[in-house]
């Protein structure tokens, strides 16, 4: 590791003048909550039908979750969508639909959100950690390297608005005869080679948690083209049941099984529906700003942008670039913070092998863990030294999140500040 970088005042560019208004905290869909959300929520309250499957008036069935599902499926181009209570619940439902259980392995990037790992353990499966690459998503080649006779699926996470490099990954999964679960919690509205994320694997999930691109505070959704997976997802999220609502969609062919209870309420459906209709506007704004930022700081020696496999499909709300060392990253972050520019990721993603639940290896009950716990735990496959590519990437990046209240003036100030820091810190 290099020693701390000492700013060289003689090479400093002029300090940029602050924009007319201070750089805001990055916010996405939550900042746009307004009349449309209010009207839909009020219509649910006035109907007194808060449960998605029936209300007090049998002649007027509840509409919000059903409409969200129909419009969301149309937006991403899948045959089916199912509203659930959260993105984490959606992961458990999707894994349950795929039949993941004790003895099964699921490949998941080591750099991912808590529930990407815990959901697998919750259904009895074993998470197998994989390396990421400079897309900050699963590295192609990992499915082939890590698959065993027990591998049932790979979870591909489209990290923070950017689609993973799906073509090679899906090809590997098809060759290995394992399912592809797309985790689109952080990337609704993103696409890959002209196709929306969520429509490219076997089953997909989305989240409507507060921080997400579109939000209902909490909420999630499962999407698939496969009628069998859809039926199993419905049963998994509704205590194994198959109600008339779904019987009107497709004919049931699967046996009943013990499911959980992750049904979306009409109130959540109302907010998520109004938010979903704003997604194009959010993406267009963030894409415009991130393009401007890239233009403003592109070409600076020593700064390398995150690779975006399909730039046309990027949602644009976070721009990542790498610098040479951790010390330089800290200096960049400190400089940005001193200039009142937020530079924290809008996700609490960390390497799974540093999480407390991996250190213990425990599930909710002793017999429920998929790991062989003992003196040798954590095994090498759950320790940092086994992930040199991931480790080489996650300690040196700087991230600039933008949101719907950022303006071009904010971006120009951010870009000028980065250029100033670049010069002041003697990068490149
Ligand atoms: C990649 C990813 N998957 C799943 C989830 C879970 O979503 P939720 O918070 O709605 O449970 C999140 C949420 O942060 C996420 O970032």
Which is more confidently placed, 191 or 20?
191
pLDDT more than 70, % of the chain: 97
Q: What CATH number has the domain bearing residue 413?
A: 3.90.1150.10
For 163-183, the pLDDT digits (tens) are: 999 999 999 999 999 999 999
Q: How far apart, in whole angstroms, are the C-alpha atoms of residue 278 and residue 244?
A: 31
- On whether residue 371 sits in a domain, the answer given is no
Residues 205 and 319 in one domain: no
Q: Which atom of ligand 1 lies at the shortest distance from residue 348's CA?
A: 14
Q: What CATH number has the domain bearing residue 250?
A: 3.40.640.10
- Orientation of helix 227-237 relative to helix 87-97, angle to 10°: 120
C-beta 115 within 6 A of ligand 1: yes
At 13 the pLDDT is: 63
C-beta 282 within 6 A of ligand 1: no
C-beta 87 within 6 A of ligand 1: yes
Kindly tell me the burial class for residue 363, based on how many C-beta atoms sit within 10 Å of its own C-beta (0-12, 13-18, 19 or more).
Answer: middle
* Residue closest by Cα to atom 7 of ligand 1: 87
* Residue 209, preceding peptide bond in cis (omega within 30° of 0): no
Angle at 255 between CA 254 and CA 256, to 5 degrees: 120
Q: How far does residue 113's CA lie from ligand 1's centre (Å)? A: 6
Under the phi-then-psi rule, with left for phi > 0, alpha for psi from -120 to 50, and beta for the rest, what region is 299? left
Mean pLDDT of 176-194: 98
- On whether residue 357 sits in a domain, the answer given is no
- On whether residue 217 sits in a domain, the answer given is yes
C-beta 183 within 6 A of ligand 1: yes
At 428 the pLDDT is: 74
Residues 264 and 335 in one domain: no
For 108-162, the pLDDT digits (tens) are: 999 999 999 999 999 999 999 999 999 999 999 999 999 999 999 999 999 999 9
Distances (CA, A) of 411 to 50, 296, 315, 406: 42, 8, 16, 7
pLDDT at 10 over 50: no
Residues 175 and 302 in one domain: no
Residues 270 and 283 in one domain: no
Q: How far does residue 258's CA lie from ligand 1's centre (Å)? A: 24
Average pLDDT of the chain, as a whole number: 95
This prediction has a pTM of 0.96
C-beta 88 within 6 A of ligand 1: yes
Q: How far does residue 328's CA lie from ligand 1's centre (Å)? A: 30
For 253-279, the pLDDT digits (tens) are: 999 999 999 999 999 999 999 999 999
* Residue closest by Cα to atom 12 of ligand 1: 185
* Parallel, antiparallel or unpaired: strands 318-322 and 304-305: antiparallel
Q: How many CB atoms lie within 10 A of CB 276?
A: 23
Residues 121 and 172 in one domain: yes
At 18 the pLDDT is: 84
pLDDT band at 3 (very low <50, low <70, confident <90, very high): very low
Residues 239 and 296 in one domain: no
Q: Which atom of ligand 1 lies at the shortest distance from residue 157's CA?
A: 1
Task: Show the domain range for 315.
Answer: 9-26+279-350+386-424
Q: How far does residue 296's CA lie from ligand 1's centre (Å)? A: 32
Residues 114 and 248 in one domain: yes
- Orientation of helix 64-76 relative to helix 266-276, angle to 10°: 30
Q: How far apart, in whole angstroms, are the C-alpha atoms of residue 160 and residue 143?
A: 21
pLDDT band at 65 (very low <50, low <70, confident <90, very high): very high
Q: Which atom of ligand 1 lies at the shortest distance from residue 91's CA?
A: 4
Q: How far does residue 183's CA lie from ligand 1's centre (Å)? A: 8
C-beta 86 within 6 A of ligand 1: yes
Residues 243 and 289 in one domain: no
Q: Which atom of ligand 1 lies at the shortest distance from residue 209's CA?
A: 10
Residues 285 and 270 in one domain: no
Q: How far does residue 207's CA lie from ligand 1's centre (Å)? A: 6
Mapped to the 3 state alphabet, what secondary structure does the chain carry?
A: CCCCCCCCHHHCCCCCCCCCCCCCCCCCHHHHCCHHHHHHHHHHHHHCCCCCCCCCCCCCCCCHHHHHHHHHHHHHCCCEEEEECCHHHHHHHHHHHCCCCCCCEEEEECEECHHHHHHHHHCCCEEEEECECCCCCECCCHHHHHCCCCEEEEEEECHHHCCCCHHHHHHHHHHHCCEEEEECCCCCCCEECCEECCCCCCEEEEECECCCCCCCECCEEEEECCHHHHHHHHHHHECCCCCHHHHCCCCCCCCCCCCCECECCHHHHHHHHHHHCCHHHHHHHHHHHHHHHHHHHCCCCCCEECCCCCHHHCCCCEEEEECCCHHHHHHHHHHHHHCCCCCCCCCCCEEHHHCHHHHHCCCCCHHHCCCCCCCCCCCHHHCHHHCHHHHHHHCCEEEEECCCCCCHHHHHHHHHHHHHHHHHCCCC
Q: How far apart, in whole angstroms, are the C-alpha atoms of residue 279 and residue 275?
A: 7
pLDDT at 14 over 80: no
C-beta 220 within 6 A of ligand 1: yes
For 363-391, the pLDDT digits (tens) are: 999 999 999 999 999 999 999 999 999 99
Q: How far does residue 116's CA lie from ligand 1's centre (Å)? A: 8
At 53 the pLDDT is: 98
Q: How far apart, in whole angstroms, are the C-alpha atoms of residue 370 and residue 148?
A: 15
Choose which residue among 182, 186, 206, 272 to substitute to test ligand 1 binding: the one with the highest number of ligand atoms within 8 A of its C-beta: 186
pLDDT at 206 over 80: yes
Mean pLDDT of 221-242: 98
Q: Under 8 Å CB-to-CB from 235, ≥6 apart: which residues?
A: 241, 242, 254, 256, 257, 259
Residues 169 and 270 in one domain: yes
Cα-only R_g, the chain: 23
pLDDT band at 4 (very low <50, low <70, confident <90, very high): very low
Residues 173 and 300 in one domain: no
- Residue where one domain finishes, among candidates 276, 291, 307: 276
Residues 292 and 333 in one domain: yes
- On whether residue 176 sits in a domain, the answer given is yes
- Residue where one domain finishes, among candidates 276, 300, 326: 276
pLDDT more than 90, % of the chain: 93
- Residue where one domain finishes, among candidates 259, 276, 293: 276
- On whether residue 314 sits in a domain, the answer given is yes
- On whether residue 88 sits in a domain, the answer given is yes
For 81-117, the pLDDT digits (tens) are: 999 999 999 999 999 999 999 999 999 999 999 999 9
For 409-418, the pLDDT digits (tens) are: 999 999 999 9
* Residue closest by Cα to atom 10 of ligand 1: 87
Domain count, the chain: 2
pLDDT at 400 over 70: yes
pLDDT at 351 over 80: yes
- On whether residue 1 sits in a domain, the answer given is no
For 300-328, the pLDDT digits (tens) are: 999 999 999 999 999 999 999 999 999 99
- On whether residue 364 sits in a domain, the answer given is no
């Amino acid at each position: 590791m290099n020693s701390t970088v000492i700013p060289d005042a003689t090479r400093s560019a002029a300090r940029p003048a602050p924009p007319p208004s201070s750089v805001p905290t990055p916010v996405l869909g939550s900042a746009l909550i307004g009349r449309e959300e209010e009207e839909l929520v009020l219509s649910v309250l006035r109907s007194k039908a808060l449960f998605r499957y029936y209300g007090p008036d049998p002649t007027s069935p509840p509409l919000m979750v059903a409409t969200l599902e129909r419009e969301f499926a149309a937006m991403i181009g899948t045959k089916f969508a199912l509203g659930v209570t959260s993105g984490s619940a959606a992961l458990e439902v999707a894994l349950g639909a795929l039949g993941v259980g004790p003895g099964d392995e699921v490949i998941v990037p080591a750099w991912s959100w808590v529930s990407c790992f815990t959901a697998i353990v919750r259904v009895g499966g074993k998470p197998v950690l994989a390396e990421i690459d400079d897309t900050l998503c699963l590295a192609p080649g990992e499915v082939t390297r890590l698959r065993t006779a027990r591998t049932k699926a790979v979870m591909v996470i489209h990290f923070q608005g950017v689609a993973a490099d799906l073509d090679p990954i899906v090809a590997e999964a098809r060759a290995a005869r394992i399912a592809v679960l797309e985790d689109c919690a952080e990337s609704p509205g993103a696409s890959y080679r002209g196709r929306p994320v969520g429509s490219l694997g076997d089953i997909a999930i989305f989240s409507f948690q507060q921080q997400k691109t579109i939000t209902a505070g909490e909420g999630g959704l499962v999407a698939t083209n496969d009628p069998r997976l859809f039926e199993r997802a419905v049963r998994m999220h509704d205590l194994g049941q198959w109600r008339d609502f779904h019987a009107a969609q497709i004919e049931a062919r699967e046996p009943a099984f013990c499911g959980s209870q992750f049904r979306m309420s009409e109130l959540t459906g109302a907010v998520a529906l109004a938010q979903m209709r704003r997604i194009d506007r959010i993406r267009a704004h963030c894409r415009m700003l991130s393009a401007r930022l890239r233009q403003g700081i592109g070409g600076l020696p020593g700064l390398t942008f995150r690779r975006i496999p399909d730039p046309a499909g990027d949602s644009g709300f976070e721009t990542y670039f790498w610098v040479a060392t951790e010390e330089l990253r800290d200096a960049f972050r400190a400089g940005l913070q001193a200039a009142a520019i937020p530079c924290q990721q809008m996700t609490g993603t960390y390497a799974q092998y540093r999480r407390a639940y991996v250190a213990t290896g425990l599930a909710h009950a002793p017999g429920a863990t998929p790991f062989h716990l003992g003196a040798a735990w954590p095994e090498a496959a759950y320790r940092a030294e086994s992930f040199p590519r991931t480790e080489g990437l996650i300690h040196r990046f700087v991230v600039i999140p933008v949101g719907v209240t950022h303006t071009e003036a904010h971006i120009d100030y951010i870009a000028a500040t980065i250029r100033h820091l670049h010069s002041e810190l003697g990068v490149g």
